[in-house]
Chain A
Amino acid sequence: MAEWEPKIVSFLCNWCSYGAADLAGVGRMQYPANVRVIRIPCTGRMSPKFFLAALREGADAVWVSG
């Protein structure tokens, strides 16, 4: 059986972390493919509702960065 991989949902601020994730791509930094990014306009947009919804939809971890 394959090793368990957590499903991670990340909410990234458009102005910093989203761009940083872009740069990670430009720099060809390799990381596991189990992150799904949702772009938000600012971490201020982050509502507790989003955390709960993501966890309910099966995310094992929610990562907010901004």
Chain B
Amino acid sequence: MIGYIEKIKQISERLLKEGTVESVVGFRKGSMPMMNEPCIVKRPDKVEALVWDSNCGINLTNYLTNRKDKIAVIAKGCDSRNIVTHIIENKIKRDQLYIIGVPCKGMIDKRKVSGLAEGEITSVSEDGDAILVKGNGFEKTVRKSDILQDNCAICVHRNPVIYDELAGDLVEEQKDVNRYEDIEKIEAMAPAEKWAYFEELLSPCTRCYACRNACPLCYCPTCFVDESKPQWVGKSQNDMDIRTFHFLRAYHCAGRCTDCGACERACPQGINVRQFTKKLEKDCLELFGWEAGMTLDERPPLDTFKADDPEAFIK
């Protein structure tokens, strides 16, 4: 993965020099290990700041919303699917975009790495599948496959679905992964068990809305939780209000969510917020044969009306 960076810099420099784009959205090194941060490069001589490794989990589609300039973006499989959704939803035009596709082998879950360390981590470097974690007084090598973000471990669209140029060779897609093992487990629970499970799951939530803000699908001028006329969901820490927020956030993502993991990654409390969106992602696949962001030609099933929709499952 780290091998892509030279190609990314080369392409970015060329695009900025030739004036194909006015800016490039990518990542630069953050101030903490495993915390690469998004950046916008506007001058060819600044492309050196760009980085690419397994710590680029943030979904860059967020930075494209309502932009008016011509812009290049570095896109993993999931990013590219969100870009497709963005184009469909009128958030940016295809001809404004230059997509630098990055075939992806998964991003590191920094919480999993921290869990393995015996103290503060000072640096994390990678060499293929080997991840070297260094800290104050310890050093450890772990296999990347053991510390992948949960969504990356079950990802079946690692290659970008839409791009203008690739920064590396396409990778083999994962097959025989059960994407919905966790959801199936919840589906099998008895109602009381489910209730207890969700009560437990959401108990740490502080309604900071980090999940919402990290999500490329959330771009409304006024979010439903902030509506006041009528105010039908309270703004408190009340259990009901918290649940209402999570349920409806998931509904708003139904048929659009690519399971990019941005929400879960952003949650400061480490809540598996993907459990909600994933259930609806699974439903969309099973009921409509739909995966979000795979084509520019069709809107998500819940966004369309068809007179001949069989909807056999509703009967």
Contact = CB atoms under 8 A, between A and B. Distances in A.
- A–B contact via C-beta, under 8 angstroms: yes
Interface of A: 44, 48-49, 52-53, 56
Contacts of B248: 48-49, 52
14 contacts: A44-B305, A48-B247, A48-B248, A48-B251, A49-B224, A49-B232, A49-B248, A52-B233, A52-B244, A52-B247, A52-B248, A53-B232, A56-B240, A56-B244
A58 to B, nearest CB: 12
The 7 closest A-B pairs by CB, nearest first: A48-B251, A52-B244, A53-B232, A56-B240, A48-B248, A52-B247, A49-B232
Interface string B215-240: 00000000010000000110000001
Contacts of A49: 224, 232, 248
Nearest to A56: B240
Contacts of A56: 240, 244
A44 to B, nearest CB: 8
Contacts of B305: 44
Interface string B289-315: 000000000000000010000000000
A64 to B, nearest CB: 10
Nearest to A50: B232
Contacts of B233: 52
A60 to B, nearest CB: 13
A49 B244 CA distance: 9
Nearest to A52: B244
Nearest to B232: A53
A59 B224 CA distance: 22
A51 B240 CA distance: 13
Contacts of A44: 305
A53 B240 CA distance: 10
A48 B224 CA distance: 12
A45 to B, nearest CB: 13
Given A44-B305, A52-B244, 12 more contacts: A48-B247, A48-B248, A48-B251, A49-B224, A49-B232, A49-B248, A52-B233, A52-B247, A52-B248, A53-B232, A56-B240, A56-B244
A23 to B, nearest CB: 22
A44 B224 CA distance: 19
Interface in B185-238: 224, 232-233
A44 B232 CA distance: 20
A44 B305 CA distance: 10
Nearest to A48: B251
Contacts of B247: 48, 52
B198 to A, nearest CB: 14
Contacts of B232: 49, 53
Nearest to A44: B305
A56 B230 CA distance: 15
B124 to A, nearest CB: 41
A59 to B, nearest CB: 13
Contacts of A48: 247-248, 251
B202 to A, nearest CB: 14
A52 B248 CA distance: 9
A19 B213 CA distance: 44
A50 B221 CA distance: 22
